[in-house]
């Protein structure tokens, strides 16, 4: 069972214009709306791949009702805690030249009682066959140790955790020993205090060091340079696939979804890499945070190249 946790969901509003004119009139060519937030994006992609998940976290107001309606329509099981205030709307402005400007709202403040309710809900789902996905930002005022606290609590019940976070959230959660982590190149460089573009060799060494905290899998997404996956006895790099890109938004979430789907289906290492690369490449061809179709992913899987490294 896969449970995605989205503490700060959003309605993703994707706006397309020719060129952004700050302080001037901007005429919109196209607008798309979708249920968003990293965990929700992961659940959407898992569903498109043919898998199942339970989406949970916090929702509020009319925006929250809209997100729940979208998930219900897509037959994605959801079990959110309802809070006062309005779930945020995040606006992404895409220019014809490929530039993206993001305007993200803060979202509602979550109290201790509501956080305790979520923790109790997660413990109820936790078991030896459960993978929790902790992804994205947390509500304003929430303890930056929250992911670490969740990891420790669900580990006590035998569950696994896939972590996709950055900054202080990532550092704190890493100390609790998540089972799978998916930092991107920038996040890994920031974690290591590197102020330049790290080489593949340096990224591999960093991934190996991260495994000392307990993760069995470290997947490093590297944008146009592809991705790297490190497991005990298995260290590979896969070049990025050549696709007609619309936006890189959601590519990382698609890779997380592929990692979770592969875990749930007990896929071997190479098959996991192929699905991750194909899903993330497919995601960049879609508008906004819409997931790629399974048909597209299967087509792209045939193009994936896996290179052994670190030998």
Using alpha carbons, list the distances in angstroms from residue 92 to 9, 16, 32, 41. Answer: 15, 8, 10, 15
Identify any residues that bridge with 238 across adjacent strands, giving them in sequence order: 227
Rg (C-alpha) for the chain, rounded Å, is 19
CA distance 50 to 74: 12
**Contact between residue 74 and residue 55 where contact means Cβ atoms under 8 Å apart:** no
What is the C-alpha to C-alpha distance for residues 167 and 190, in angstroms, rounded to an integer? 8
303 vs 47: CA distance, rounded Å: 23
Q: 94 Cβ partners below 8 Å, 6+ apart?
A: 14, 15, 16, 17, 100, 247
Residue from 267, 268, 279 nearest 304 by CA: 279
Phi, psi of 224 (to 5 degrees): -65, -15
| Active-site position among 164, 179, 253, 264 | 253
Inter-residue contact 90 to 105 (CB < 8 Å): yes
Whether the Cβ atoms of residue 9 and residue 35 lie closer than 8 Å to each other:
yes
Q: Which two tokens stand for residue 66?
A: 């809209």
Residue among 240, 253, 310 nearest 281 (CA) = 240
Tell me, yes or no, if 200 is annotated catalytic.
Answer: no
d(CA 143, CA 129): 28
Backbone angles phi, psi at 236, to 5 degrees: -140, 160
* Enzyme catalytic residues: 253
């Amino acid at each position: 069972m896969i449970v995605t946790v989205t503490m700060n969901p959003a309605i993703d509003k994707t706006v397309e214009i020719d060129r952004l004119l700050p302080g001037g009139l901007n005429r919109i060519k196209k607008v798309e709306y979708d249920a968003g937030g990293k965990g929700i994006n992961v659940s959407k992609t898992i569903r498109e791949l043919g898998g199942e998940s339970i989406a949970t976290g916090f929702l509020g107001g009319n925006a929250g009702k809209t997100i729940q309606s979208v998930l219900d329509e897509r037959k994605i099981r959801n079990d959110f805690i309802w809070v006062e205030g309005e779930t945020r709307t995040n606006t992404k402005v895409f220019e014809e030249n490929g530039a993206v400007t993001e305007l993200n709202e803060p979202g509602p403040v979550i109290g201790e009682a509501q956080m305790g309710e979520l923790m109790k809900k997660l413990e109820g789902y936790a078991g030896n066959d459960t993978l929790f996905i902790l992804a994205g930002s947390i509500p304003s005022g929430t303890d930056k140790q929250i992911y670490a606290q969740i990891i420790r609590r669900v580990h006590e019940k035998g569950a696994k955790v896939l972590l996709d976070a950055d900054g202080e959230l990532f550092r704190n959660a890493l100390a609790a020993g998540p089972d799978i982590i998916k930092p991107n190149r920038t996040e890994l460089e920031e974690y290591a205090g590197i102020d330049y573009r790290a080489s593949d060799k340096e990224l591999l060494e960093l991934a190996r060091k991260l495994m000392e905290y307990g993760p069995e899998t470290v997947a490093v997404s590297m944008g146009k340079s592809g991705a790297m996956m490190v497991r005990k006895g298995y260290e590979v790099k896969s070049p990025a696939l050549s696709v007609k890109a619309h936006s890189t938004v959601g590519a990382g979430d698609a890779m997380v979804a592929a990692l979770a789907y592969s875990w749930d289906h007990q896929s071997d290492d190479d098959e996991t890499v192929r699905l991750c690369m194909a899903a993330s490449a497919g995601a960049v061809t879609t508008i906004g945070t819409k997931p790629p179709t399974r048909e597209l992913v299967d087509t792209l899987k045939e193009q994936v190249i896996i290179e052994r490294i670190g030998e």
